[in-house]
Amino acid sequence: MQRREFIKSSCITCASIIGVSALASLLQSCAALPSLKTVSKDNIISIPETSFIENQNILILKDPQLEFDILVVKKKDNTYNAIYMQCSHQSQPLSATKTGLFCASHGSAFDLDGNVTVEPATDPLRKFKTELVNSTINIYLSKS
Same domain flag for 9 and 44: no
> pLDDT class for 102, splitting at 50, 70, 90?
very high
Same domain flag for 25 and 72: no
CATH number of the domain encompassing residue 59: 2.102.10.10
* Number of domains making up the chain: 2
Closest listed residue to residue 128, CA positions, set 61, 78, 77, 64: 61
What's the whole-number mean pLDDT along residues 102-121? Answer: 93
- Higher pLDDT: 90 or 7? It is 90
The pLDDT of residue 78: 85
Q: Which pTM value belongs to this model? A: 0.76
Same domain flag for 85 and 113: yes
Same domain flag for 1 and 61: no
Q: Which domain holds residue 13?
A: 1-30
Task: List, for residues 120-138, the tens digit of each pLDDT value.
Answer: 999 999 999 999 999 999 9
Same domain flag for 129 and 103: yes
Task: List, for residues 14-64, the tens digit of each pLDDT value.
Answer: 445 444 444 444 444 455 788 889 988 999 999 999 998 888 899 999 999
Same domain flag for 18 and 60: no
Same domain flag for 136 and 86: yes
DSSP three-state, residue 90: coil
